[in-house]
A and B are shown apart, each in its own frame.
Chain A
Amino acid sequence: MAKEPAPKVQTIDPAAIEMLKIAEAKGYSTAFSRAAKMAACPIGESGACCSICDMGPCRLVPTKSNPDPVGVCGATRATVAARNMARHIAAGTAAHSDHGRDLIFTLQAVAEGAAQGYELRDLSKLNVVAGYFGVKTDGKKPEQIAGEIAALAIGDMARQKGTLIYTKRAPKKRQEIWQQLGIAPRGVDREVVDTLHRTHMGDDQDADHLMLGSLRTSLADGWGGSMMATDISDILFGTPSPLVTKVNLGVLKNDEVNIVIHGHEPTLSEMIVRVVSEPELIDYAKSKGAKGIALCGVCCTANETLMRQGIPSAGNDLNQELAIITGAVEAMVVDVQCIMQAITDLSSKFHTKIITTSPKVKITGATHIEFDEHHALDIARQIVRTAIDNYPNRKQTEIPTHLSDLVPGFSHEYIRYMMGGVLRGSFRPLNDAIMQGRLRGIAGVVGCNNPRVTHDQAHNDIVKEFLKNDILVAQTGCGALANAKYGLLLGEAAMEYAGPGLREVCEAIGIPPVLHLGSCVDNTRILTVLSEMASEGGLGDDISDIPGVGIAPEWMSEKALAIGAYFAASGVYVLFGVNSPVENSDDVTKIMSEGWEKIVGGKMEFVPDPAEIVRRSLAHIDAKRAALKLPAYDPGKFGKSGDWRMRELLKQPLQERVNALYGMPVAAE
């Protein structure tokens, strides 16, 4: 089956369409054009390539004459596919967890009073997290508590024996499954090293065993590094709650200094957020002819500041190059992960400065201003000044006007609060809604962008289909931005897209039908929500009982695979779009699907067709409903409540309204 290297329709994002037209006209190369020009390597794409040792690289492509090829060492297709997958998962785990590590060190520096500009912003979360770690809080100063948490968190990163402390936050039954299978994760670093070791030439060469090990490594991400990253970010920068902000390239300003933050960690970006409102810097920008400083982001650093302070987002990962093409970006400040090397070359065609900041990440051609949490504010100011200094170099700009409002900010703490207030907050209403069938189920639709499929399309098609079917959607990362661009992350979207039951739930609480829970490390918030739902009662006693699915329709990064694996290991059915990186091995495909389902209750499947993803999701959700003996989904029973009747009445003439009060006079307007 001959496959086009890239889709005919590159994107559905109108701002992106505008920018791509310019790119084409001016001959700028973008991920979109490169993907179209260069087909994916068919051997690597399917997991048939083994480049682990120098006896190869071996290509294990079956042919008629050799239907079951092996490598020089004899490694089978299953071993090679599993080993590649294991390494991807380990890399994803390493990336997320190293992000977590940086936050732990920042927390430790704050505890020691050595982190300029940082503070313990959410003390109640500090106490909750102390509870998870078993840190006593009585009579202790917050700094002391933070120090003890940091020490234990560093300990868990490096733990050699025993189990990660955070795994205790999973439902009891889930923990027992992990213990029985021997996949309860030890230290985060140990699991990553373990995978890298066992996938070295001549080690673990049993696909089942390799994949079981991968589950353990992924758990060290989900219930370890990532979860700690989320919690500590909340302690340092505040636990998000809903607010209104904007997304897409239209957030760039024609007459202000535009700084785009890109990458993943909130440590630096939060400091930049702080300093851009300093009068000295604003005056400095004005001295250069700008009206002010406009901060926005792309990718997940943007999600961190979007969730907490409502800093607008210029879009998701594939928007990074397009932002530069507007010619309006003075500086793109990057830290770690998902930063395309192409931006430095592209920026050379404009005045845009690419500023790398992480000690781990330099990009040839970029300006490097290294970040250090001990002098964060000073460095942030230096970066902003560099951007301002660049403003006079700006030439012609082409900023698209497209932008959309969105309401992000759904931390799991807020989700609990929103269903009962300070005194009655709980997950009961959510469980009730699923039990009654008012909600058919829930879905996490997350993940990246990938120019091999139409940008944002699968995200939107799948989510809209889910909404129509009364499935409440939780999102993170670039996926959330993909839907936000089209207005799905607004209360109004419930009225337009949601089925009758979901509409009622959204109207009752005032939520969008699609909830934005944060950056990609914040997928752990979804884990917490699922655990709370399992313990609230009525939906079984484990995550695997809940009628729900996880989808990554446009994935591309290794982190996505790690996330997929830890959700599967936690009991969730996970569906990935685009293509299968283990396609070359039916055995591994089966292990990750039926095999995992048998042992952990969750599974991971690669399904390129969005319509098929929806079909399988609905079938799975309905099967889980049936297993719980819940009533079959029947949307006809719901949708009667809401404001509609009142709105109709208020449109009526006075006499009608008087009649509705059975003849009593209506109070004066």
Chain B
Amino acid sequence: MSRYIATSAIRGAMNIAREADALLQKALQDKGADAKVGFPNTAYFLPTILGLTGRKVETVGDLVPVMEQIKTYLHPVPAQARWTPYLGETLDGGVATLLAEEVLMGLGFLYGDQPEKMPGFHLAQAAASFTSPEFQKDGDGAGNLNGPIDDIQLRSWGIQLVDGRMPGFAAVVGCAKSNEVAVKIIRELQRRNILIFLAGNVNGRSIIHQLQEEGIEMGYDTYIVPFGTDTRSAIYALGFATRSALTFGGMKGGQAREILLYNKYRVFAFVLALGEVDDLKYATAAGAISYGFPAIADTVIPEIHPTGVTQYEHVISMPFNEIPGKDDLERAEKLVQRCIEVRGVKIKMTEVPIPVPYGSAFEGEVVRKADLRFESGGKHSRAFEYLYSLPMEKIEDGKVTVLGPDLDQVEEGGHMDIGIVAEVAGRKMQEDFEPVLERQIHHFVNGASGIQHVGQRDITWIRISKAAYDKGFRLGDLGKILHARYHADFGAIVDKIQVTIYTNQADVNTMLQVAREAYNKRNVRLANMVDEQVDEFYSCTLCQSFAPNHVCVVSPERVGLCGAYSWLDCKASFQINPTGPNQPIPKGQQIDPVKGYWKGPVDFVYQNSHQQVENVSMYSIMENPMTACGCFECIVMVIPEANGVMVLSREDTSMSPAGMTFSTLAGMAGGGLQTPGIMGVGKYYLTSKKFLFSDGGFKRIVWMSSVLKQTMPEELKKAAELAGDPDLLAKVADETICTEVPDLVAFLESKGHPALTMDPLM
């Protein structure tokens, strides 16, 4: 600290603690000690309080001991002369501030003040989003800022946070010099795929106002989350950080030191303070510093360069007007650059030579009907994409051809059929990698601002916005994106790539036939690819950066629990990075083919879980089930009364027959802990022949979130047929049918569900 900051921060801590105490006393009177307190859609109560104190706050009364603890963290402000040390005391004050802010926010929900109201405000949110906070259910969130991030969103961002696609988060607090600067700062952060949290104001004006005035979409899908226009709402960022340690790090509430160090070493976040820094901002920043998150201000404030609590400098002042640059935009760019240096965020930037901004942050962008310049796929036209390999000499690297009319020849809002065909070559290229690479097109194309991509193969659907078109985006740019990204991300297996975009109807039809034959061939190959046929499985320890003791074992018939890594993906990834997180695991001696024990995986998991997981079965939920990090798509859990299992999707926020929501259950399934009877899995594993192979298979499913039934009906139907009961799905309950065990059993009996007569599970 510096004495100036220490003085401000401790003063700020005292004031906010006093305020929290006053509101708590009021709530005890108004609402009573038993009134419920909590954030929506989280299993972590008030998460910062849970993490740092171990207290599970459910009622107003539960806040009383929290308040007492807060007071023990308050120390006097340092003297003007003859001062005693203040750094430890200031950091304590920071912790007190965070706890007090969360007390205020928890009570804010009780009083209906949170999330903050902002008339006319809409959160950006694609139709496909499954992450809507409860309060947004009515009217698309109109008039509310975001408030705390829910567990579902945290988990769905999990894989991106761990694989480096999302390098970290920025808590941007205050108000930028101008709207133009605000937008530039946000764009610069987005370009680097940094998650952006917004809070605070300067003299009543917040960056949230600035972005809203400039028409910037804010919400989960644009990676810009507006928490609130007051400083205290920045606590939601720290709550997010705390929960990432609880969710992915396998930590328990109360392991404060471990949680804070987890964040210091694994979560790359920083605070960017725009405009004047007042006492509460200093105090909140002091709290963030305990997490290892440095603070950067764009005004004159004291700097703290010695390191240790944070990895690099603690506090940096970069007075905006003094930043060298030809204009404010360049200054904003340099400011963001400095933030990234200070936190030591490693960012791999791929320059994609197209006329619109490019970055993962734009992946969630939606092109609305009103903004639409062109679309292909969907109701009115067809788009497909196809990638295959050729010998090296057949390919001219970087060549992009558009065969047929380009966008200029299509009227505004119009459509036409297109085919995107990518031909790749590489010394290490294998035919098996073709589908792995092909599936990347979705995520590559989506990175372009103003371009929306949905689906894959011949159900592709691409939309291009007017803004992108006006900036000069044309179909050939799709090829340029693919060229740049395949080289950057898959350079180890792709040496050359050329792309042809077909827009002539006849060509599209011809190529579509070729592609469909290839799709079929690949389907057959995939269907025949079974665990028995291969000699090695693959590990996935990608998530160990977040969940240090978890190891995924990925086999042809068991996709990684995040759904993102199939056996083939892992194989390709190993080729790309031989020392990376995906390593071949020789199966070794078979111990039990039914439960799925092989010596290789058992040894590998024991070693790589740091001796935490002693044994692992591939096919059983009851005996040594595979562990999970926190990114799983579904939770499978035994319902003993029904002699079967339920499958709860992470997109389902409702109650389940287990008496818990996904968020609560996820705490039991994740963190690398082995709990018989509960397992986190990828949703396509449900349809595998090896799903619960030793426990009775697909027929054990007695309850399933309806969203699964809706989003993968074909696959589930096929699995039911394979299980020998084509009508099985009709016998499986969901949350619209029942969420209580007695109702479930009654339903199963009425339908004659096979699980009821199977061997006892337990």
Question: Which residues of A approach B to under 8 Å, CB–CB?
Answer: 242-244, 405, 407, 409, 414, 417-426, 428-433, 436, 438, 490-492, 504-505, 507-511, 638, 640-647, 649, 659-667
CB distance from A549 to the nearest CB of B (A): 22
Contact B305 A510, beta carbon cutoff 8 Å: no
Whole-angstrom distance between the alpha carbons of A414 and B319 in the complex?
Answer: 35
The contact of A667 among B2, B276, B301, by CB within 8 Å, is: B276
With A419-B87, A423-B52, A504-B305 as known contacts, state yes or no: A643 contacts B2, CB within 8 Å. yes
Contact B314 A508, beta carbon cutoff 8 Å: yes
Whole-angstrom distance between the alpha carbons of A505 and B86 in the complex?
Answer: 12
Contact B89 A491, beta carbon cutoff 8 Å: no
Contact B1 A664, beta carbon cutoff 8 Å: no
The contact of A661 among B89, B92, B256, B299, by CB within 8 Å, is: B299
Contact B321 A510, beta carbon cutoff 8 Å: no
CB distance from B69 to the nearest CB of A (A): 10
Chain A residues, CB < 8 A from B86: 509-510
Contact A244 B4, beta carbon cutoff 8 Å: no
A650 to chain B: closest residue by CB: B4
CB distance from A473 to the nearest CB of B (A): 15
Contact B92 A510, beta carbon cutoff 8 Å: no
Contact B73 A422, beta carbon cutoff 8 Å: yes
Chain B residues, CB < 8 A from A664: 175, 202-203, 275-276
Chain A residues, CB < 8 A from B320: 662
Contact A641 B303, beta carbon cutoff 8 Å: yes
9 contacts between A and B (CB under 8 A): A407-B82, A420-B308, A423-B52, A429-B306, A491-B83, A510-B83, A641-B2, A642-B302, A662-B275
Contact B307 A643, beta carbon cutoff 8 Å: no
B202 to chain A: closest residue by CB: A664
CB distance from B678 to the nearest CB of A (A): 32
Instruction: Please provide the chain B residues from 26 to 74 with a CB less than 8 Å away from any CB of chain A in the complex.
Output: 52, 73
A507 to chain B: closest residue by CB: B2
CB distance from B121 to the nearest CB of A (A): 24
Determine which residue in A430, A510, A666 has the highest number of CB atoms from chain B within 10 A of its CB, and name it.
A510
Chain B residues, CB < 8 A from A638: 305
The contact of A643 among B3, B305, B314, by CB within 8 Å, is: B3
Contact B302 A421, beta carbon cutoff 8 Å: no
Question: Which residues of B approach A to under 8 Å, CB–CB?
Answer: 1-4, 6, 52, 73, 78-79, 81-92, 94-95, 175, 177, 202-203, 256-257, 260-261, 275-276, 278, 290, 298-309, 313-315, 317, 319-321
Chain B residues, CB < 8 A from A430: 308
Contact A429 B307, beta carbon cutoff 8 Å: yes
With A507-B3, A510-B3, A643-B4 as known contacts, state yes or no: A244 contacts B84, CB within 8 Å. yes
Contact B82 A405, beta carbon cutoff 8 Å: yes
The contact of A645 among B3, B91, B302, B313, by CB within 8 Å, is: B302
B321 to chain A: closest residue by CB: A662
Given A424-B261, A424-B290, A667-B276, 4 new contacts (CB under 8 A): A420-B308, A425-B88, A662-B321, A664-B175
A435 to chain B: closest residue by CB: B307
CB distance from A628 to the nearest CB of B (A): 17
A639 to chain B: closest residue by CB: B305
Chain B residues, CB < 8 A from A426: 308
Chain A residues, CB < 8 A from B88: 417-422, 425, 509
Contact B303 A422, beta carbon cutoff 8 Å: no
Chain A residues, CB < 8 A from B89: 421
The contact of A660 among B4, B52, B83, B319, by CB within 8 Å, is: B319
Chain A residues, CB < 8 A from B2: 507-508, 641-643, 646
Chain A residues, CB < 8 A from B308: 419-420, 426, 428-433
The contact of A243 among B1, B84, B302, by CB within 8 Å, is: B84
CB distance from A511 to the nearest CB of B (A): 5
Chain B residues, CB < 8 A from A665: 203
Interface of B (DSSP majority class): loop
Contact A643 B302, beta carbon cutoff 8 Å: yes
Chain A residues, CB < 8 A from B92: 421-423
Contact B309 A510, beta carbon cutoff 8 Å: no
Contact A641 B309, beta carbon cutoff 8 Å: no
Chain A residues, CB < 8 A from B90: 421
Q: List the count of A-B residue pairs having beta carbons below 8 Å apart.
A: 166
CB distance from A431 to the nearest CB of B (A): 7
Q: Which 4 A-B pairs have the closest CB atoms?
A: A429-B308, A421-B91, A641-B303, A641-B305
Whole-angstrom distance between the alpha carbons of A479 and B85 in the complex?
Answer: 21
Whole-angstrom distance between the alpha carbons of A430 and B85 in the complex?
Answer: 15
CB distance from B439 to the nearest CB of A (A): 42
CB distance from B544 to the nearest CB of A (A): 20
Chain B residues, CB < 8 A from A425: 88
Contact A436 B276, beta carbon cutoff 8 Å: no
Whole-angstrom distance between the alpha carbons of A201 and B329 in the complex?
Answer: 86
CB distance from A84 to the nearest CB of B (A): 43
The contact of B303 among A428, A431, A505, A645, by CB within 8 Å, is: A645
Contact A646 B301, beta carbon cutoff 8 Å: yes
Chain A residues, CB < 8 A from B321: 659-660, 662
Whole-angstrom distance between the alpha carbons of A325 and B313 in the complex?
Answer: 53
Chain B residues, CB < 8 A from A432: 306-308
Contact B304 A508, beta carbon cutoff 8 Å: yes
Whole-angstrom distance between the alpha carbons of A47 and B8 in the complex?
Answer: 59
With A418-B88, A420-B309, A638-B305 as known contacts, state yes or no: A510 contacts B1, CB within 8 Å. yes
Contact A510 B84, beta carbon cutoff 8 Å: yes
CB distance from A507 to the nearest CB of B (A): 6
Contact A505 B306, beta carbon cutoff 8 Å: yes
Contact B87 A509, beta carbon cutoff 8 Å: yes
Whole-angstrom distance between the alpha carbons of A657 and B91 in the complex?
Answer: 28
With A423-B260, A664-B203 as known contacts, state yes or no: A504 contacts B306, CB within 8 Å. yes
Whole-angstrom distance between the alpha carbons of A424 and B84 in the complex?
Answer: 19
Contact B85 A242, beta carbon cutoff 8 Å: yes
Contact B85 A645, beta carbon cutoff 8 Å: no
The contact of A424 among B79, B91, B307, by CB within 8 Å, is: B91
B278 to chain A: closest residue by CB: A667
Whole-angstrom distance between the alpha carbons of A424 and B6 in the complex?
Answer: 16
Contact B87 A436, beta carbon cutoff 8 Å: no
CB distance from A539 to the nearest CB of B (A): 13
CB distance from B520 to the nearest CB of A (A): 57
The contact of B275 among A242, A419, A433, A661, by CB within 8 Å, is: A661
Whole-angstrom distance between the alpha carbons of A436 and B313 in the complex?
Answer: 12
Chain A residues, CB < 8 A from B315: 641
Contact A420 B84, beta carbon cutoff 8 Å: no
CB distance from B99 to the nearest CB of A (A): 11
Contact A421 B82, beta carbon cutoff 8 Å: no
B256 to chain A: closest residue by CB: A423
Whole-angstrom distance between the alpha carbons of A429 and B309 in the complex?
Answer: 6
B307 to chain A: closest residue by CB: A432
The contact of B300 among A244, A640, A645, by CB within 8 Å, is: A645
Contact B4 A510, beta carbon cutoff 8 Å: no
B320 to chain A: closest residue by CB: A662
The contact of B85 among A438, A504, A509, by CB within 8 Å, is: A509
Whole-angstrom distance between the alpha carbons of A420 and B306 in the complex?
Answer: 12
With A423-B95, A660-B319 as known contacts, state yes or no: A509 contacts B1, CB within 8 Å. yes
A423 to chain B: closest residue by CB: B256
Whole-angstrom distance between the alpha carbons of A438 and B312 in the complex?
Answer: 13
Chain B residues, CB < 8 A from A509: 1, 85-88
Whole-angstrom distance between the alpha carbons of A5 and B287 in the complex?
Answer: 59
Contact B95 A422, beta carbon cutoff 8 Å: yes
Contact A492 B81, beta carbon cutoff 8 Å: yes
Chain B residues, CB < 8 A from A420: 87-88, 91, 290, 308-309
Whole-angstrom distance between the alpha carbons of A424 and B291 in the complex?
Answer: 9
CB distance from B95 to the nearest CB of A (A): 6
With A661-B299, A667-B278 as known contacts, state yes or no: A242 contacts B306, CB within 8 Å. no
CB distance from B412 to the nearest CB of A (A): 41
Whole-angstrom distance between the alpha carbons of A271 and B681 in the complex?
Answer: 67
Contact A640 B91, beta carbon cutoff 8 Å: no
CB distance from A538 to the nearest CB of B (A): 10
Chain A residues, CB < 8 A from B83: 407, 491, 510
Determine which residue in B256, B305, B309 has the highest number of CB atoms from chain A within 10 A of its CB, and name it.
B305
Contact B256 A660, beta carbon cutoff 8 Å: no
Chain B residues, CB < 8 A from A407: 82-85
